[in-house]
Structure 1
Amino acid sequence: MHLLVTNDDGPPSSQSSPYVLPFVRTLESAGHTVSVCLPHTQRSWIGKAHIVGQDVQATYYWPEDDNSHSGKPWVLVNSTPASCAQLGLYHVFQDRPPIDAVVSGPNYGRNTTALFALSSGTLGAALEAAVCDCKAIALSFAFTDRSNYPEVVAASCRQSVKVIEYLVNKGTWGGGLLYSLNVPVVKDVESKKVEWTRVLQNSWSGGGCFEAMSSTIESPEIEERQLRRQESASSGSRAEASGNAENWKPRHFKWAPKFSEVYDSVERAGPGSDGWAVKEGWTSVTALNANFMHVGGYEGELKL
């Protein structure tokens, strides 16, 4: 098969994208032709976004293990995972055979439950491929620690290739269908079962993804403006008339998702979900539709 691989973690990096290179090499060892189109930098949590009004540049890249440039180069794009899927399908690999399927991933981390899946750039690229009428699989590696021992990662790559081959050859396709595949990064993953699952519907609580910062280092410009407000307060300024100017200072928040809420929701819901399967060390496969499917029971005229 000719497979297009993209991701949302960017080019190979031990810190942010440790899985894409061994995965591509495993696909090639299994006899597949692989074309790779990735964001040029980290693009996680961006969903199926495109950056409107921005010109996109595609540059060539040879991975570290191809110093002699003997193989075909990968392509890096200064845009989003969804844009990489489109460019990979329609523009940057026109000299190669038609693409049989798009694999987005392996993501550095799981994409289980609605809270992760709805924001996932890995899912976003697969969704984009599905609405381009191409077979699409979102692949995520659920690691339990960040050691990433090569032999353990290799086992997860082999497991992924086996499932991908099955889905592409024997899966149901068409009508915007795609698959979300979550593979645990554990040494015995190949001996564990592969389970059909559903996406667990869960929700954020207690602050969600952001945390207020108690103190910040203001820029010189902001410090100066604060001094000017103090100077003018004694003369009856608008700041004084509307209350204490300190109440209207900018507020600062840091990105701090409370992942424990996701894991707790999996425990409460019990078996059957993607999150539960991964927790048990199983490979999770979820069939999805690339649309906002309507809820039944709402039909006819809405009379106010």
Structure 2
Amino acid sequence: MTLPTILVINDDGINSVGIVALAKQMKKLGDVVVVTPGYERSGVGKSLSIGQVDVTASSFGDGVRAFATTGTPADSFLIAVNKVLEGMPDLVVSGINIGPNLGIDDLLTSGTLGAAFEAAIRKVPAIAVSYCLSEITDRMPEKTRVSVDDLESAAAVAYKAAKHVLEHGMPEDVDIVSINVAEDAVCNNVKVTSLCYEGYGDIHTATEGGYKIKSWTLRHYPDGEPGTDLHAIKNGKCVSVTPIKVEFFHNKDAMKDLMESLSA
């Protein structure tokens, strides 16, 4: 029997414990191929590189083919499907991100979600998994203190979600399943949530000559309405599961007055 092909990507880089923990679990389900940035590319969204992207074979162990790129997560997806795999995988799993991916701002900023969007645009089932470390300070030492053992719950949830999707397909009308696991999550306390549409607060600190995001903390995020991903993570030891559909609505009927002005 042919094993399903699972493409694993992240935005924390190929040496992150998050992608190691994720690939280990995905290996139980299929033929895992890792194609991901060689270093951290957090916050690049779905951006693509203008110029050359280098690709280097990387040692990953456990029979996993792995390649590190100098591009973004979105670059890595496109290179994976067009050059490495020469076809679409059965599933893309992006993560495990060290840090939250909650609400509309994160959705549009995250490289983890950027790779998932590239997959979803091409009708490839996509799961994004994030470990909601409560605070990440300047130069991000907290990311390096997280161990594979710390990610056991997040990796277990990723395994269950991937297994379900491979066996049953994506939930109806869902393109991306975004999973956020609280730092203190009880693994079976799983909540289906909606995306919070409130944006970040003031996240910049004054420096000499400008401003800088010196730390990343859940305090930067709004509380969110009950039922949203943000509210769930900030108010409970839970796993938030948010269905995402890549669909932008266009109300043509509402354009009548504007079109009259443009045509005058």
- The residue that corresponds to 1:190 in the other structure is 187
Does residue 1:204 correspond to 2:200, yes or no? Answer: yes
Match of 1:127 among 117, 128, 153: 117
Distance in 1, Cα, partners of 2:105 & 2:21:
28
Distance in 2, Cα, partners of 1:184 & 1:204:
19
Does residue 1:55 correspond to 2:52, yes or no? Answer: yes
Letter in 1 for 2:25: T
| 1:114-263 → structure 2 map (5 Å cutoff) | 114-144=104-134, 146=142, 148=146, 150-168=148-166, 169-172=168-171, 177-186=175-184, 189-192=186-189, 194-205=190-201, 208-214=202-208, 251-256=209-214, 259=217, 261-263=219-221
- Contact conserved, 2:20 with 2:148, CA < 8 A, in 1? no
Tell me the CA shift for residue 117 of structure 1: 2.0
- The alignment partner of 1:82 has SS state of helix
- The residue that corresponds to 1:287 in the other structure is 243
- Contact conserved, 2:88 with 2:124, CA < 8 A, in 1? no
Does residue 1:274 correspond to 2:229, yes or no? Answer: yes
Tell me the CA shift for residue 122 of structure 1: 0.5
- The residue that corresponds to 1:246 in the other structure is none
Tell me the CA shift for residue 73 of structure 1: 3.1
CA gap of 1:163–1:45, structure 2 versus 1, over 3 A, is same
- The alignment partner of 2:17 has SS state of coil
Distance in 2, Cα, partners of 1:26 & 1:60:
21
Tell me the CA shift for residue 199 of structure 1: 1.1
Tell me the CA shift for residue 258 of structure 1: 6.3
- Contact conserved, 2:11 with 2:111, CA < 8 A, in 1? yes
TM-score (ref. length: structure 1):
0.72
- The alignment partner of 1:157 has SS state of helix
| Superposed CA RMSD | 2.6
- The alignment partner of 1:139 has SS state of strand
CA gap of 1:31–1:203, structure 2 versus 1, over 3 A, is closer
CA gap of 1:210–1:61, structure 2 versus 1, over 3 A, is same
Distance in 2, Cα, partners of 1:167 & 1:300:
42
Q: Which is worse superposed, 19-28 or 135-144? A: 135-144
- The alignment partner of 1:59 has SS state of strand
Distance in 1, Cα, partners of 2:211 & 2:23:
38
Aligned length: 247
TM-score (ref. length: structure 2):
0.82
CA gap of 1:164–1:283, structure 2 versus 1, over 3 A, is farther
- The residue that corresponds to 2:138 in the other structure is none
CA gap of 1:128–1:155, structure 2 versus 1, over 3 A, is same
Does residue 1:6 correspond to 2:9, yes or no? Answer: yes
- The alignment partner of 1:256 has SS state of coil
Tell me the CA shift for residue 115 of structure 1: 2.4
- The alignment partner of 1:298 has SS state of helix
- The residue that corresponds to 1:31 in the other structure is 29
Letter in 1 for 2:211: F
- The alignment partner of 2:49 has SS state of coil
Distance in 1, Cα, partners of 2:212 & 2:195:
28
- The residue that corresponds to 1:92 in the other structure is 84
- The residue that corresponds to 1:82 in the other structure is 74
Letter in 1 for 2:213: W
Any idea what the Cα deviations from partners look like across 1:90-141, whole Å, max 9, x if unmatched?
21124xx851011111111110112222210111110011112211122111
- Contact conserved, 2:18 with 2:148, CA < 8 A, in 1? no
Distance in 1, Cα, partners of 2:118 & 2:147:
32
- Contact conserved, 1:144 with 1:185, CA < 8 A, in 2? yes
- The unaligned stretches of length 5 or more in structure 2 are 136-141
Tell me which structure has the larger Cα radius of gyration: 1
Distance in 1, Cα, partners of 2:175 & 2:218:
30
CA gap of 1:211–1:23, structure 2 versus 1, over 3 A, is same
- The residue that corresponds to 2:20 in the other structure is 21
- The alignment partner of 2:36 has SS state of strand
Distance in 2, Cα, partners of 1:50 & 1:102:
18
Distance in 2, Cα, partners of 1:260 & 1:98:
35
